[in-house]
């Protein structure tokens, strides 16, 4: 009976990893849609978000069923509770990708990001994509060391966010108000994707060690 229960716990982590991989694709495709003015990709990201939403419901149902039927304690309880929180973070990352895709769709056939802001937004997108990919690996391997290393990438994202604000407020900005709003929102979306990635990684640390990383 307990062996079957632990198989169910492992299955939850496998499902979380699968959702993370869906999110990784969403972030990548939303960024391509944004930078290449690809309406087809933007629509695809928006349409496929239902898969992430459905997966969240399925994982929540499985986790709550384990709570009600197995009454887990200690380390097992940590896994179930953390899984419920992680799937919420992953779903939010998918939602943020949709927000990026909607900005891309709104501005096509023209790029949403003006040339002056493009290098910074490109780098923010790259960092976000890398962090999501690494989060998937952290979930797959329950790798505490890799989870702790993810904080360095988040520090870079914070620096890029400040740089983006400086560009928006600088005298060189001549792109107008609407692009400024788009860029401000995009910076926020990518920053939040990174924040959620770190939160998921910190929850993996909690599952494995029972300790909550500082600042999480």
Angle, helices 39-70/74-107, rounded to nearest 10 degrees: 160
Q: Which is more confident, 6 or 31?
A: 31
- Give per-residue pLDDT as tens, 35-59: 999 999 999 999 999 999 999 999 9
Q: Tell whether the model's pLDDT for residue 10 goes beyond 90.
A: no
pTM equals 0.93
Q: What pLDDT sits at residue 3?
A: 67
* 16-27 average pLDDT score: 97
Q: What pLDDT sits at residue 216?
A: 52
Phi and psi, residue 198, nearest 5° = -65, -40
How far is residue 90's CA from residue 19's CA, in Å, rounded to a whole number? 7
Cβ atoms within 10 Å, residue 50: 10
Q: What pLDDT sits at residue 177?
A: 94
In a domain, 215, yes or no: no
Task: Give the number of domains in the chain.
Answer: 1
Q: What is the DSSP string of 59-88?
A: HHHHHHHHHHHH---HHHHHHHHHHHHHHH
Q: CA geometry: angle at 92 spanning 118 and 7, to 5°?
A: 130
- Give per-residue pLDDT as tens, 58-113: 999 988 888 887 767 777 888 888 999 999 999 999 999 999 999 999 999 999 99
pLDDT grade, residue 215 (50/70/90)? Answer: low
In a domain, 214, yes or no: no
CATH number, domain containing residue 199: 1.20.58.220
In a domain, 141, yes or no: yes
Q: Quote the domain boundaries for residue 148.
A: 2-209
In a domain, 216, yes or no: no
Determine contact, residues 80/67, Cβ cutoff 8 Å: yes
How far is residue 71's CA from residue 215's CA, in Å, rounded to a whole number? 30
* Strand, coil or helix: 4: helix
In a domain, 32, yes or no: yes
Q: What pLDDT sits at residue 66?
A: 83
Q: What pLDDT sits at residue 2?
A: 61
Determine contact, residues 194/157, Cβ cutoff 8 Å: yes
In a domain, 99, yes or no: yes
In a domain, 202, yes or no: yes
Q: What is the DSSP string of 96-151?
A: HHHHHHHHHHHHTTS-SS-TTTHHHHHHHHHHHHHHHHHHHHHHHHT-HHHHHHHH
| Closest listed residue to residue 192, CA positions, set 112, 107, 92, 66 | 92
pLDDT grade, residue 116 (50/70/90)? Answer: very high
- Give per-residue pLDDT as tens, 135-171: 999 999 999 999 988 987 889 999 999 999 999 999 9
In a domain, 105, yes or no: yes
How far is residue 131's CA from residue 127's CA, in Å, rounded to a whole number? 6
Determine contact, residues 139/20, Cβ cutoff 8 Å: yes
């Amino acid at each position: 009976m307990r062996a079957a229960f632990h198989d169910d716990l492992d299955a939850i982590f496998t499902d979380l990893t699968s959702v993370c991989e869906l999110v990784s694709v969403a972030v990548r495709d939303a960024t391509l849609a944004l930078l290449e003015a690809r309406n087809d990709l933007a629509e695809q990201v928006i349409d496929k978000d239902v898969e992430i939403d459905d997966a969240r419901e399925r994982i929540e149902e499985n986790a709550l069923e384990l709570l009600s039927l197995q009454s887990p304690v200690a380390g097992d309880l940590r896994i179930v509770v953390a899984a419920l929180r992680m799937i919420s973070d992953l779903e939010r990352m998918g939602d943020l990708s949709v927000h990026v895709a909607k900005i891309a769709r709104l501005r096509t056939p023209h790029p949403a990001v003006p040339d002056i802001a493009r290098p910074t937004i490109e780098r923010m997108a790259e960092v976000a994509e890398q962090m999501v990919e690494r989060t998937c690996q952290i979930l797959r391997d329950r790798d505490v060391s890799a989870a702790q290393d993810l904080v360095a990438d988040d520090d870079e994202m914070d620096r890029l966010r400040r740089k983006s604000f400086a560009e928006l407020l600088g005298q060189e900005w001549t792109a107008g108000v609407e692009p400024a709003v788009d860029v401000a929102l995009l910076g926020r979306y990518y920053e939040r994707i990174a924040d959620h990635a770190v939160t998921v990684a910190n929850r993996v640390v909690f599952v494995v060690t029972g300790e909550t990383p500082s600042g999480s």
